[in-house]
């Protein structure tokens, strides 16, 4: 990770869970990290925690609603003014709503598409533009996907969410980057069941169901995914890690 010290990373969905764990890990390794989310206070608390821990990097909190394209574009403009641009983009933000294909609300479908697909693609495009205009040829774009992007669970509540994770964005990006003759890399990290707030939000009307899900097996922890991000970034520049699939040992599917 030495070559990333002092360089700039953007982490979306940085206030809690996997995003917060990734932020802390990158700051600990000496990076300047712009962490964005709708809840600014939580990221500010995370920044203070990084300072108290004596980490060599710095966390810069930024409030952004990724479902609003103008806010995303304003964020990248701010990053350009404050930090010249970004070298690493980690598209972590995502949400799951219990909206089945046969009975779900179109408003919920659109919300998931806006965040999980459209916002990710806008951030990817802006990140590539930032790297290209500064002649950064060793940048990295990492999408935090999920095992839902590789198989369909027998659970109607997550079928549309699964569709947003099935979008073949990372491999498509990798191909476009190769055609552009750049050495910027693209990686997807697909965890299985991780003990975060996502399931509690998915089953907000039935918190007991969410709690039971996490008690059923020994789940992955947010730090496990953060460690995978560090592994990917630590790979030599000539190594392209396309997709990491990781799940709890006890998880069946």
Largest CA-CA distance found in the chain, in angstroms, rounded: 51
Torsion from C-alpha of 168, 170, 174, 180, nearest 10 degrees:
90
Contact between residue 141 and residue 89 where contact means Cβ atoms under 8 Å apart: yes
Q: Is 62 a catalytic residue?
A: no
Contact between residue 246 and residue 191 where contact means Cβ atoms under 8 Å apart: yes
Q: Which entry of 161, 166, 200, 214 is annotated as an active-site residue?
A: 161
Catalytic residue numbers read: 161
């Amino acid at each position: 990770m030495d070559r990333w010290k002092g360089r700039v990373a953007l982490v979306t969905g940085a206030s809690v869970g996997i995003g917060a764990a990734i932020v802390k890990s990158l700051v600990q390794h000496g990076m300047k990290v712009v962490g964005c989310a709708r809840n600014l206070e939580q990221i500010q608390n995370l920044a203070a925690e990084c300072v108290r821990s004596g980490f060599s990097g710095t966390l810069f909190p930024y409030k952004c609603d990724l479902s609003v394209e103008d806010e995303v574009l304003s964020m990248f403009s701010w990053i350009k003014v404050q930090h010249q641009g970004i070298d690493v983009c980690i598209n972590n933000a995502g949400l799951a709503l219990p909206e089945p294909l046969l009975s779900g609300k179109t408003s919920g479908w659109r919300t998931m598409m806006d965040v999980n697909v459209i916002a990710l693609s806008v951030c990817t495009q802006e990140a590539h533009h930032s790297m290209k205009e500064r002649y950064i040829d060793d940048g990295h774009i990492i999408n935090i996907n999920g095992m839902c992007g590789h198989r369909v669970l027998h659970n109607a509540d997550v079928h549309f969410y699964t569709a947003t994770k099935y979008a073949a964005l990372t491999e498509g990006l990798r191909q476009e980057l190769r055609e552009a003759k750049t050495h910027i890399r693209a990686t997807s990290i697909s965890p299985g069941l991780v003990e975060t707030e996502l399931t509690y939000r998915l089953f907000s009307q039935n918190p007991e169901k969410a709690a039971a899900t996490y008690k059923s097996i020994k789940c992955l922890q947010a730090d496990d995914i953060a460690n995978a991000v560090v592994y990917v970034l630590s790979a030599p520049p000539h190594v392209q890690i396309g997709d990491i699939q990781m799940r709890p040992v006890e998880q069946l599917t």
